[in-house]
Amino acid sequence: MQRFRGFLFGAGIFLLVVFYWLVSFYATNWLYNYMDKRPYEVIGQLINSIGGLFLWGLTMTILGKFIQGRQMEIFQTMIDAIRSMSRGNFNVSVDNNPHNGPFGELVDSINHMAVELGQLEKMRQEFISNVSHEIQSPLTSISGFSRALQNEQISIEERKHYLNIIEAESKRLSKLSDNLLKLTSLESQHHPFEPKNYRLDKQLRNHILACEPQWLDKELEMDINLNEVTLNADEDLLSQVWTNLIHNAIKFTPIAGHIGVSVTSNEKNVIVQISNNGVGISEEDQVHIFERFYKADKSRNRTSGGNGLGLSIVKKIIDLHHGDITVDSKVGEKTIFTVLFPIEK
């Protein structure tokens, strides 16, 4: 396509030169007839050539000034857009039309950059708002119950109750801080990543046994199907994944409910599934479940101490392993998290 355009441009220049030579030829020929004098043929050809080149040069000069003016206008528009973005205003758009020529791609890039930076700014503002909200709530509780403890007339039982709430809210703040640091470290691309071959089924079994007091306390039925699978991955990072998913399954499964944990493999992937019955997750919430601070049930997460970062961390760790995680859920019936890890060949 580029060669074809170059060919058309060259052909256009050639035809323009021929046209101006013909104009010069007929103009000088009319002048010779009017003056009733005609120079030698060689001098006449020279005059025609010089005249054609003069007309061509004059046209190129006029056209160049027009193009230069148009280019300066485009440049100024792009500079204004970049300056606006440097001041934090990303709601800018440079008009791109066919007359921009080779600058069209640059204009598209500036518009695309403005859109991307605008989305990043929106995410930053939402992140700050969410963090502020998550911090403000426990701080308000701690402050309120601390003032209540100053009342010397409250009973010992009330005092213990208030102290327990303060302790729980303090732990919530500590967990939020820990998760924020962890997520920031994972997204910085400087987090230690040390993959090795290890038995994934043994790791899952150890996590299930570590949670035994929790699922026994709720009288949960555990359906365990762990095939012998060796995986090349960062064992410590995946430990956080299984801790989060298994704890969530226990947390949101009703008493005497059912939890399933399985690991299998095929020619392409290692497959881990963690399922439970219970309230389930709506289709609308499933789309956003791995976003930071997103909570499918605000009241449920508030009482259970969640801050909406756990599944974001899970998703980031699985992404670091080039894996994939999906959720399949029906409200009031079940929830199944499926994790896939590609098998290296």
Query: Two tokens at 44?
Result: 């006449």
Residue 107: what pLDDT?
77
| Stretch 319-339: mean pLDDT | 90
Phi and psi, residue 340, nearest 5°: -115, 135
pLDDT(228) > 70? yes
Output Rg (C-alpha) for the chain, integer angstroms: 36
Give the percent of the chain with pLDDT over 90. 17
How sure is the predictor about 302, in pLDDT bands with cuts at 50, 70 and 90?
Answer: very low
- Per-residue pLDDT tens for 261-278? 999 988 889 999 999 998
263 - beta bridge partners?
226, 272
| Mean pLDDT of the 143-170 span | 86
Helix/strand/coil (H/E/C) assignment for every residue in the chain: CHHHHHHHHHHHHHHHHHHHHHHHHHHHHHHHHHHCCCCCHHHHHHHHHHHHHHHHHHHHHHHHHHHHHHHHHHHHHHHHHHHHHHCCCCCCCCCCCHHHHHHHHHHHHHHHHHHHHHHHHHHHHHHHHHHHHHHHHHHHHHHHHHHHHCCCCCCHHHHHHHHHHHHHHHHHHHHHHHHHHHHHHHHCCCCCCCCEEEEHHHHHHHHHHHCHHHHHHCCCEEEEEECCCEEEECHHHHHHHHHHHHHHHHHCCCCCCEEEEEEEECCCEEEEEEEEECCCCCHHHHCCCCCCCCCCCHHHHHHHCCCCCHHHHHHHHHHHCCCEEEEEEECCCEEEEEEEEECCC
> Which amino acid belongs to residue 330?
K
Is residue 245 scored above 60 in pLDDT? yes
Q: Helices 310-320 & 235-251, crossing angle to 10 degrees?
A: 150
Q: Quickly state the pLDDT bin for 201 (edges 50, 70, 90).
A: very high
pLDDT score of 293: 72
> Residue 49: is its pLDDT beyond 60?
yes
Cα distance between residue 21 and residue 52, in whole Å: 4
Specify the pLDDT at position 25: 64
Residue 110: name the closest of 84, 145, 147 by CA. Answer: 84
Asked if the model's pLDDT at residue 287 lies above 70, the reply is: yes
Q: Tell whether pTM > 0.75.
A: no
Arithmetic mean of pLDDT over the chain: 78
Give the pLDDT of residue 71.
61
Structure confidence by residue, pLDDT tens digits, 103-128: 677 778 878 888 888 877 776 776 67
Q: Do residues 323 and 336 touch, judged by C-beta distance below 8 A?
A: no
Cβ(131)–Cβ(180) below 8 Å: yes
